[in-house]
């Protein structure tokens, strides 16, 4: 099995007066999945485009499997599959034609093409292979485009928000394919969906305002951030009087609805226990738990600059 790697070394990119990437560096060795996280406009797509040589950095280098992408793009990108800003596949072609066309361009033999079309047609629940691309829904098109990046059997898969705009069923199809692929390949994906990243990725890189804020093993990063909200559900309706009592007990109510209240806290077990013992004096608590995820806490803390 091949081991893959990618690295950004002091990469900067300016658009006019706007500095989109400021000296970014990170690297990853091995197979698995890397999640690239950051708010809109952080510089994720710009980084991914530089990685696949769609744009050139002003300074710094990007390497794929130790080959400099800017200097030797053909060699570096030979084993890459990329899905960046979903292009429209040829509308007049049929699904199977559009898939074999991409594979033929890469010199893949007919038998492999047929097998892979059949495989991904099942895995991604592709529409009828004889259907015209122009008649497909947005999600169906996205599935076909994803299949066309996979049909060439890439060693490294670069995906820019691959599931944006997909329904939950389609997201699951994508997730299962990524989970399968990452066993033997390297997947580098940007995403806004933290739940998706925590389910699929082994490593995370956080970017904000064109700078890398943190990177590391997802479990190690997540475990250093405690969840800082609890939810309590009551038998009785939550009214203003109850909310006042909770506030008077010294708590910050983040939100509430008919039967439940969400309270901010410092994330410690001691505070969590104390809140519950206070709440049972105020109402009949039937459910109590922390809400959110550690990755979400990490994302918020790191991107707000409270990096531990
Ligand atoms: N070709 C361009 N010309 C001018 N500015 C650009 C260009 N491409 C990107 N930018 C700017 O660079 C910044 C980073 O954009 P980029 O698309 O990399 O962000 P992103 O992290 O991918 O965001 P999103 O999650 O919204 O896709 C943005 O402020 C964007 O407006």
| Residue-wise pLDDT tens digits, 156-197 | 999 999 998 899 999 999 999 999 999 999 999 999 889 899
pLDDT tens per residue across span 7-57? 999 999 999 999 999 999 999 999 999 999 999 999 999 999 999 999 999
- Looking at 178, 196, 219, which one is the last position of a domain? 219
| CATH value at residue 273 | 3.30.70.1150
Cβ-Cβ contacts under 8 Å for 246 (sequence gap 6 or more): 253, 261, 263, 278, 279, 282
For 169: left if phi > 0, alpha if psi spans -120 to 50, otherwise beta; the answer is alpha
> Could you tell me if 112 and 158 are in contact, meaning their C-beta atoms sit under 8 angstroms apart?
no
For the chain, the domain total comes to 2
Q: In the structure encoding, which two tokens stand for residue 113, read together?
A: 């093409």
Q: Which two tokens stand for residue 181?
A: 């692929």
Among 140, 224, 77, smallest CA distance to 129 is for: 140
Q: Specify whether 69 is located in the same domain as 180.
A: yes
Q: Whose CA is closest to 215, among 37, 60, 94?
A: 37
* Residue 14 alpha carbon to ligand 1 centre in Å: 10
Radius of gyration of the CA atoms of the chain, in A: 23
Whether residue 192 is found in the same domain as residue 266? no
Q: Quick one: how far is CA 19 from the chain centroid?
A: 24
240-248 and 269-282 are packed helices; what angle lies between their axes, rounded to 10 degrees? 140
CA 58 – CA 47 distance, rounded (Å): 12
| Nearest Cα residue to atom 8 of ligand 1 | 46
What residues line ligand 1, using a CB cutoff of 6 Å?
15, 18, 20, 38, 40-46
Residue 187: closest CA among 73, 36, 86: 36
Which residue from 16, 44, 165, 212 has its CB within 8 A of the most atoms of ligand 1, so it is best to mutate? 44
Residues 6+ apart with CB under 8 A from 293: 194, 195, 198, 222, 227
CATH of the domain at 67: 3.40.50.300
pTM for the model stands at: 0.86
Lowest mean pLDDT among 33-42, 253-262, 289-298: 289-298
Q: Domain limits at 115? A: 5-219
For residue 190, report the distance from its CA to the centre of ligand 1, in Å. Answer: 13
How far apart are the CA of 27 and the centre of ligand 1, in A?
Answer: 22
Ligand 1 centre distance from Cα of residue 305 (Å): 21
* Domain match, 131 and 209 both: yes
**Which atom of ligand 1 is the closest one to the Cα of 16?**
4
pLDDT digits (tens, 9 = 90+) for 87-138: 666 778 899 998 988 888 888 899 999 999 999 999 999 999 999 988 898 8
User: How many Å apart are CA 7 and CA 294, to the nearest integer?
Assistant: 26
Instruction: Tell me, yes or no, whether 190 and 61 share the same domain.
Output: yes
Tell whether 298 is covered by a domain: no
Prediction ipTM score: 0.94
């Amino acid at each position: 099995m091949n081991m893959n790697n990618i690295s950004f070394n002091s990469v900067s990119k300016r658009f006019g007066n706007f500095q989109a990437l400021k000296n970014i560096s990170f690297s990853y060795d091995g197979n698995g999945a890397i999640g690239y996280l950051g708010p809109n406009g952080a510089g994720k797509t710009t980084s991914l485009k530089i990685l696949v040589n769609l744009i050139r950095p002003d300074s710094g280098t990007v390497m794929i499997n130790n080959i400099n992408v800017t200097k030797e793009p053909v060699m570096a990108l030979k084993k890459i599959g990329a899905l960046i800003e979903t292009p429209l596949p040829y509308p007049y072609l049929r699904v199977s034609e559009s898939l074999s066309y991409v594979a033929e361009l890469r010199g893949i033999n007919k038998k492999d093409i047929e097998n892979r079309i059949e495989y991904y047609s099942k895995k991604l629940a592709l529409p009828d292979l004889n259907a015209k691309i122009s008649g497909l829904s947005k999600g169906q098109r996205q599935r076909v485009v994803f299949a066309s990046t996979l049909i060439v059997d890439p060693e490294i898969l670069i995906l820019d928000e691959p599931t944006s705009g997909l329904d939950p069923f389609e997201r699951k199809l994508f997730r299962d394919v990524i989970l399968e692929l990452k066993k033997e390949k390297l997947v580098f994906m940007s995403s806004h969906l933290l739940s998706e990243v925590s389910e699929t990725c082994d490593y995370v890189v956080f970017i904000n305002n064109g700078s890398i804020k943190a990177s590391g093993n997802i479990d190690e990063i997540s475990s250093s951030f405690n969840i800082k909200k609890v939810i309590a559900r009551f038998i009785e309706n939550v009214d203003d009087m109850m909310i006042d009592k909770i506030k008077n007990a010294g708590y910050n109510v983040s939100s509430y609805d008919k039967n439940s209240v969400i309270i901010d806290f410092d994330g410690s077990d001691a505070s969590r226990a104390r809140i519950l013992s206070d709440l049972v004096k105020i109402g009949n608590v039937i459910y109590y738990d922390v809400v959110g995820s550690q990755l979400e806490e990490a994302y918020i803390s790191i991107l707000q600059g409270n990096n531990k």
